[in-house]
Structure 1
Amino acid sequence: MQNADTTKYIIHSKISADGIIERPDIVGAIFGQTEGLLGSDLDLRDLQKTGRIGRIEVVVNAKAGKTKGTILIPSSLDKVETSILAASLETIDRVGPCSAKIEITHIEDVRATKRQQIIERAKFIFRGMFDENLPESQEIADEVRQSVRVEEMQYFGKNKIPCGPAIFDSDAIIVVEGRADVLNLLKYGIKNTICVGGTNVPPEVAELTKKKDTVTAFTDGDRGGELIIKELVQIANVDFIARAPDGKSVEDLVQKEIVRSLRQKVPVEQVIDKYVIRDQAAPSDNGRISRVTKRKERRPAPDVKRVGASQVPRPSREPRARDNRKNEPREEREEEPQTEQAVVPKSKIPSSPENKRFKGHATDLIGTFSARFLDGEDNVVNETAVRDLVSTLKDYEAEVKTVVFDGVVTQRILDIAADKGIECLIGAKVGSVTKRPASVKVFTAASL
């Protein structure tokens, strides 16, 4: 009998005879005519007794006085012995009283068939069982992380505003747009966040920003994020502004992008022109923003340039200047010197040599948002971005006498300059400054 465990190959052959023959005739002819043909080692009877040849299967069909059929012989021999045995079958030329012919069609490798069945079954098991019952390790980690993030989220105020757990105790907070932004920042360990839920900023958030030392607005890089910042700077106390990359949302950022965006935050004074709506005259709780807006409305740019130019004697133009001022209302004539004095005091107006010293640096930096540190001989000793000016200047140890930068001169920069012994500050504009150190001269690029 055929042993399915040991069968390696199956010899497929076909037989045709000129008369009517049956299965026992064919099997007897195979054993009888191959006996002693290949020696004792390949005798079919001995091979079948030892199990190296299986049961010979014969299927015949007689029609019109002729017989045709197929013969299958299982073999556990090696390839060479199986090939010799198959070739010996083709020597049979007579079955019973009829002439016959046996032809080998092919030899089937049973192990190859089994291997193909194993592959197909393995595919089914992998697709149907692993995908449904065994999640990937990353999926398990994400599921656990998501549950932790949801558990860490807390709510602020009577309106249950989503926020991080550190929002109550931290002196520095980050204001984002929506609940998904808070969840994404919690995912990367940033827990001092609170959301505004859209352009309608809740009063609780506005009041909270006035109680914190540092407030950073972190919004999406689209039009909606810009509108939220415009509302925040009007009704809340915002110190820094951070934006996601153009076209991206905070909830979609990865850790590297979040850290980069927060490091590139800029002081609100540096971009106040972009986000403050100057046409609105409504009072603002944020006194700093209101003063900046009012100062910008009262200060005409041409007057600043005229003050710098008035230091150079020009007798031929003085009568015409006086005639023009006669036609101006008295209140405007009285107020104008005060506004010009606030921007560029007469005691700090540069002389002609100083114009030549700093004007080249100020011109080079226009539109670059960069800053240059100059020593006592006006040599450039360092350059940095305006957004990093405060931290770089605070930690800088070498001698710096002049700082030229494409940004707004703020009270904070003035105080650091006085502590560092800096003599001159040249910026694009002068912001909300209430205390001017006597040791620091302040210029604007327009007055050079």
Structure 2
Amino acid sequence: MKYVVKLTFEVEGSVDKPDVIGAIFGQTENLFGQEFDLRELQDKGRLGRIVVEIKNKGGKAEGYIEIPSNLDRVETALIASMVESVEKVGPYNAKFYLKEIEDVRAEKLKKIIDRAKQILAAWNRERNLDIKEVMNEISGAVKTGELIEFGPERLPAGPDVYTDPNLIIVEGRADIINLLRYGYKNTVAVEGASGKIPQSVIELSKNKKMVIAFLDGDHGGDMILKDLINANVKIDYVARAPVGREVEELTGKEIAKSLSNMIPFSQYLKKQQETLSSVVGRAEGAVKIENGEQQAVQVIEPPKEIEIKIPGNVMEDIKKLPGTLEGVIYDENWNLIEKVQVRDIIPKLEGLTNGASFIIFDGVITQRLLELAASKNVKLVIGVRIGGITKKPENVKVLTLTDVIGP
């Protein structure tokens, strides 16, 4: 639960806990329609069990109420106001007062931060001082201020993108900021590309002595590289973050190691071609290498682990998802189980006992979601992009919306 609504109450007569709970449910029913019916919200797991503590004394009653909430801030405030509006408990007049709405996550974050401070303090005592890392931390704020905009598309870039004879191409703004933090200024980001590389990057690469494509170590990095190839961007070397990691989260040492391990572009393509040689006959196209030069612009796609056919009507619904922050859950026959907000997909899936087979949503696919999906026997998960997945369940197929409906 995200929040706990805490109230006190006074009743002008002797009553019991069931009387108080009954008054709350009865006098808030249909105030704001079925969507905010307390019983309905409890059934859906959006509200927890209402806790009542009561004390009768001198023919009157007073007590304390807690209502756990998994709703957002606005909806939780509305629930608190609805309960405050209760005026009677049984035949007796009553008054309810909101004491506070506790942010459970804030308390949890505070504990995590306090524990992180303890861990860091112990770590600092145990390790040797790395003066280079200290200097990078001190100058980090200054270096991130060197971020500039490149080309008519106003792409994030380092200040030396025009003057340095070499160029590092990355995916996004956060990657540029992290590289600036460690002194790499000859950088430009394609900002996710979405299947189309900015023309200014294509022209810039032609005028550079050496161009390095420095990409995330996940499926998103593969997609960006494919876009660069299809746009005929001049690439001399390919560097990758460690598997499952993103450039934006690497330390200075990890960046240096990734760049030192970069592979000549032609060698990278040959390695990919050898890895996928068993599926050349089924691929739509292949990368062809002649005399160390790039001769084609289409990358072989790996075989699909699980063959799943998506009905036409479902495809039309999927095309409407981008930008909505919504998701849909289907059963094994592609019948709609429920349409939910992205933020509610995990709690909703946790509440389902069976039946979910396909999940499609306008959000990031996380390790936690995949593990939960595997435990619920979900066959397919489709999201906007794949996050830092360290271990993919074998029984769950994972795709992005771009894989399904194109950029």
TM-score of the pair, normalised by structure 1 = 0.31
Structure that is richer in helix per residue: 1
TM-score of the pair, normalised by structure 2 = 0.34
